[in-house]
């Protein structure tokens, strides 16, 4: 089973999606105490570290894949757009970890604003480290959710370790195929229960038919505004303890079903 290390893990959206696709998480790095508590609950046996600036330690375990979404505020269209001038621009720390641990693959997630405010530099850094990278944009709507939540994903393989038998543009094509398959088999927007098995939500049957109009109608029946850029997560934290922390972590989280699409595309190209 291929192994996974997670940087800027948040509450584990990337980690969960990759586990759906057959990866085993070995370590997680996350600074926020509330998010780390969530990780502890769901991955009690996985090693955790708090600050990427002091990772990896001397005994850090090498992994096949390093995933992570470094803070998006420097490149978000909703922010000041300071990019590399923002102290929260932590891509250099991500790059340092990759250079030290040399995984076979690196998968990076961020907001679409990265395309104009740093993507070229990220790709150049990966190339300098010997990684062949491709990128694409995925939406939560592609896996059946009634909102857009577009995110950019970069998949990069170590050219000295991974022989890709695919044509340029493979990543975007593979992700689109995985999205289509998730709709066809009715598993789109599936949730993991406590036993680790999936159960399809009410959205899955609609997504399986591939009818956008059905999803719009369904969203309206459930009181949501159809095709929002981001989901309204307030209802999942109303009148609950640590409401602000919950909302912040949910807002920063990666949609696990999108992460699974990416993970399956990587495995297909990797042949593992």
Q: List active site positions.
A: 72
- Determine the Cα–Cα distance for residues 267 and 261; give it in Å rounded to an integer: 10
Nearest Cα neighbor of 23 from 192, 272, 269, 189 is 272
56: preceding bond cis by omega (within 30 degrees): yes
Exposure string over 209-220, b if 16+ CB within 10 A, otherwise e: eeeeebbeebbe
Residue 82 DSSP symbol: -
Contact yes or no for 138/107 (Cβ under 8 A): no
Nearest Cα neighbor of 91 from 103, 106, 105 is 106
């Amino acid at each position: 089973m291929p192994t996974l290390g997670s940087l800027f893990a948040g509450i584990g959206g990337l980690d969960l999606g990759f586990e759906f696709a057959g990866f085993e998480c070995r370590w997680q790095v996350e600074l926020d105490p509330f998010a780390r508590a969530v990780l502890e609950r769901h991955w009690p046996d996985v090693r955790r570290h708090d600050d990427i600036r002091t990772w990896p330690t001397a005994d850090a375990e090498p992994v096949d894949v390093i995933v992570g979404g470094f803070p998006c505020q420097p490149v978000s269209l909703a922010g000041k757009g300071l990019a590399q001038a923002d102290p929260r621009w932590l891509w250099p720390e991500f790059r340092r970890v990759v250079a030290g641990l040399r995984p076979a693959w690196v998968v990076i997630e961020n907001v679409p604003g990265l395309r104009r405010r740093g993507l070229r530099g990220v790709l150049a850094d990966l190339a300098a480290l010997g990684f062949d990278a491709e990128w694409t944009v995925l939406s939560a709507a592609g896996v059946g959710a009634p909102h857009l939540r577009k995110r950019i994903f970069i998949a990069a393989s170590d050219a000295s370790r991974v022989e890709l038998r695919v044509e340029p543009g493979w990543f975007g094509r593979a992700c689109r195929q995985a999205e289509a398959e998730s709709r066809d088999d009715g598993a789109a927007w599936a949730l993991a229960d406590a036993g680790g098995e999936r159960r399809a939500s009410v959205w899955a049957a609609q997504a399986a038919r591939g009818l956008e109009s059905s999803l719009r109608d369904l969203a309206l029946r459930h009181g949501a505004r159809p095709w929002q850029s981001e989901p309204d997560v307030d209802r999942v934290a109303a009148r609950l303890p640590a409401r602000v922390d919950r909302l912040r972590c949910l807002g920063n989280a990666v949609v696990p079903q999108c992460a699974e699409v990416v993970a399956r595309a990587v495995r297909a190209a990797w042949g593992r």
